[in-house]
Each structure stands twice: as C-alpha cells, then as structure tokens.
C-alpha cells in the first residue's frame, strides 16, 4: 500500500507541475499581440485635467502598462494567471462529471448489506470476493475511456489495488482512504503555489515599473530642461501602472478564492461519496478475521467429530449392555 500511495502522490504532483508549464507556453502567444511601448513618457507629458482624472478611459487604458522595462513581462504573467484559472475551472468541470460517473458505478455494484446477523455472517464466510465487489468495480473503471482524466476514478482504483496474495479488508480500505484524503487536500492546495507566486510578483514588478517611469518623468526637471509644473502630468501618469496592476492582482486573488472554495466543495463531495456509497456499506472485518474464522471452523469440525465418535461409542455400549441382559 505504501508504494502505491507514494506513486499516486508523485504522479499527481507531476501532473500539476506539467499543467503550470502548459500555462506558461499557452500564455506566451496570447501576450504577444500587445505592443510594447517606449521606455519614456515623452508622448504623455500633457497635463492631466480634473476631467481626465475622472474619466474611466484614463484608468482602463493600458498603454502605460506595456512600457519598458517590465511592461511586456507583466502582461505575460497576467495571461499566465488567467490561463491557470481557466485550466483549473475546466479541470473542476471534468472532475464533477467524473464524480457523477463514480456515483452511478457504485450504485450499480455496491448495495446496502443486510442487517440480519445470519446474512452478515454468511457474507463474511463467503470470502473477500463476494464481500467486496472488487472485480466488478475494477471492470467498471476499466470500461471508461480516458479514465486518467477523472480524479475520482483514480482514487477508486488506488483504493481497490492490493498486493498479490493479500486479503482485502474494510479495515485496510478505510485506512487507505484516510491517507488518500489527506494527500489529496495537500496536493490540491500545493497546486496553487505557482499561482500565488505570480500574485506576489506582479505588485513588485508594478512598483519597479512605476519607480522607473517616475524617475524618467522627473529627470527633465532635475536636469533643468523643464519646470516642475511641466512634468507634473508625467509624474501622475507614472503611478497608473501600479494602480492597474494592483487592481488586476485583486481580481486574480478573488478568482483564486472562488476556485479554491469550489475545489474544497468537490473534494468534500468525493470524500463523502466514497465513504457513504462504498466503505460504509461493506461488512467491517479486519484482515485477520478470515484466518480466525477458518481456525474456529476447523476447531468446531474437530469438536463435532469427537462428539460424533463419543455418541457412537455410547450407542454401541448401550447395545452391548442390552445384549448381555437378554
């Protein structure tokens, strides 16, 4: 079980790392059409009027956002974050579909066990093949095309995997499910780490970009070529990239919070589904139960044989006594 869980964890972490690499590749052509502006504000030295400051066009115009030296790189990182959110949303849609398919599969092959003690005893004596519908469930999982896309099917397959020659037990399944649940929550939380790095990096780049534009805006006044009031418009415009990138970062964080809560909802539904529809409906016994039952069965058979021999000897003794009396 240990190697199967480690392999599952390594595969899931590798999948999310490759997913982030795909986001980096897909975002590059999306950010390319945006032009990169010049590294100075010579074309933006016009004074800002109160009407211009109140207009929405000034704040949604991203021409300053693409100025050198970090404008194009910030645009690229924003697109990486957007592609990441879109990919996560698509992944969640696929997994909710997989959850419904797993629910239908469990409804077909796992039934509520009988409450009568004789039936429960019979189900345990029948052996693991009948108590646990492993073959039927694995056949249902294998019959689904592209099952690697569905996380619930991967979890169900991992739960049903066992070492050759080992005995299936509900005790082992519950312990394995507990470890898989903890692992999945940690993996999905860690899958957002690159996205969080982007959200920390964007404001830092925006601050550096604003500082550079501010330096370029006041440089003519410091050199004596212009008066301070002449470069006031350039100074104000240099703060617009920082304000825009902060607003974009806030929106991206809202998207992170929303999708994280949807992921938590998905994981809680999968955990409840596999426990309520599968684990809670299996006859609970440990891996030693079948061995103990076989040993008790052998002892009862030996005791029954001894009683039969004693009964035959007593009957034969009574017959001999009757003959002597006659």
- Return per-residue pLDDT of the chain as tens, 326 residues: 556 788 888 999 999 999 999 999 999 998 876 555 544 444 444 455 555 555 555 566 666 656 667 778 888 999 999 999 999 999 999 999 988 988 888 877 766 554 544 444 444 444 444 445 667 777 777 777 777 788 888 888 887 776 554 556 667 777 788 888 889 999 999 999 999 999 999 999 888 888 877 777 666 665 655 555 555 566 667 777 788 888 899 999 999 999 999 999 999 988 888 877 677 666 555 455 556 667 777 888 888 888 888 888 887 777 777 766 66
CA distance 175 to 177: 5
Q: Phi then psi for 66, rounded to 5 degrees?
A: -100, 10
What pTM value is reported for the model? 0.73
Asked if residue 322 and residue 259 are part of one domain, the reply reads no
Q: Phi then psi for 32, rounded to 5 degrees?
A: -65, -40
Closest CA to 68 of 208, 235, 223, 244: 208
Of 256, 271, 286, the position where a domain reaches its end is 286
Contacts of residue 12, Cβ cutoff 8 Å, sequence gap at least 6? 183, 184, 187
As to burial, measured by CB atoms within 10 angstroms (0-12 exposed, 13-18 middle, 19+ buried), residue 277 is middle
Asked if residue 279 and residue 153 are part of one domain, the reply reads yes
Asked if residue 280 and residue 305 are part of one domain, the reply reads no
Give the chain's domain count: 2
Asked if residue 188 and residue 319 are part of one domain, the reply reads no
Sign of CA dihedral 264, 266, 268, 270: negative
Asked if residue 323 and residue 268 are part of one domain, the reply reads no
CA distance 177 to 184: 10
CA distance 323 to 229: 139
Asked if residue 211 and residue 86 are part of one domain, the reply reads yes
Residue range(s) defining the domain that contains residue 140: 2-286
Asked if residue 265 and residue 293 are part of one domain, the reply reads no
Beta bridge partners of 67: 37
Closest CA to 146 of 95, 90, 89: 95
Asked if residue 296 and residue 214 are part of one domain, the reply reads no
Decide: 38 and 234 in contact? Cβ < 8 Å: no
Asked if residue 304 and residue 201 are part of one domain, the reply reads no
Asked if residue 324 and residue 224 are part of one domain, the reply reads no
Asked if residue 165 and residue 23 are part of one domain, the reply reads yes
Decide: 104 and 72 in contact? Cβ < 8 Å: no
Quote the crossing angle between the two packed helices 71-109 and 134-142, to the nearest 10°: 140
CA distance 204 to 69: 13
List the structure tokens of 81. 């974050």
Q: Phi then psi for 276, rounded to 5 degrees?
A: -70, -40
Asked if residue 58 and residue 147 are part of one domain, the reply reads yes
């Amino acid at each position: 079980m240990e190697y199967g869980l480690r392999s599952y964890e390594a595969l899931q972490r590798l999948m999310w790392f490759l997913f982030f690499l795909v986001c980096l590749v897909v975002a590059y052509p999306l950010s390319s059409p945006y032009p990169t502006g010049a590294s100075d504000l010579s074309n933006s030295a016009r004074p800002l009027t109160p009407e211009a400051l109140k207009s929405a066009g000034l704040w949604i115009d991203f021409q300053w956002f693409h100025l050198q030296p970090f404008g194009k790189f910030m645009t690229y990182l924003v697109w990486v974050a957007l592609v990441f959110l879109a990919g996560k949303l698509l992944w969640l849609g696929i997994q909710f579909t997989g959850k419904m398919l797993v629910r239908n599969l469990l409804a077909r092959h796992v039934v509520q066990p009988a409450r009568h003690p004789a039936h429960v005893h019979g189900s345990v004596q029948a052996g693991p093949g009948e108590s646990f519908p492993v073959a039927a469930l694995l056949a249902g999982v294998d019959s689904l095309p592209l099952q690697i896309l569905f996380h619930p099917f991967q979890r169900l397959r991992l739960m049903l995997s066992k070492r050759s020659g080992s005995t299936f037990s509900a005790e082992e399944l519950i312990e394995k499910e507990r470890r898989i649940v903890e692992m999945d929550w940690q993996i999905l939380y860690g899958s957002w780490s690159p996205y969080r790095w982007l959200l920390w990096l964007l404001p830092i780049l925006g601050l550096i970009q604003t500082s550079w534009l501010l330096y370029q805006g006041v440089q003519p006044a410091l050199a004596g070529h212009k008066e301070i009031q002449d470069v006031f418009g350039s100074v104000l415009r240099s703060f617009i990239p920082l304000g825009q990138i902060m607003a974009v970062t806030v929106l991206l964080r809202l998207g992170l919070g929303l999708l994280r809560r949807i992921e938590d909802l998905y994981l809680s539904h999968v955990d409840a589904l596999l426990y309520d529809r599968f684990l809670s409906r299996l006859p609970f016994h440990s891996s030693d139960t079948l061995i103990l039952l076989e040993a008790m069965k052998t002892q009862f058979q030996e005791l029954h044989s001894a009683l039969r021999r004693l009964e035959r000897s007593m009957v034969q003794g009574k017959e001999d006594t009757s003959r002597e009396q006659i």
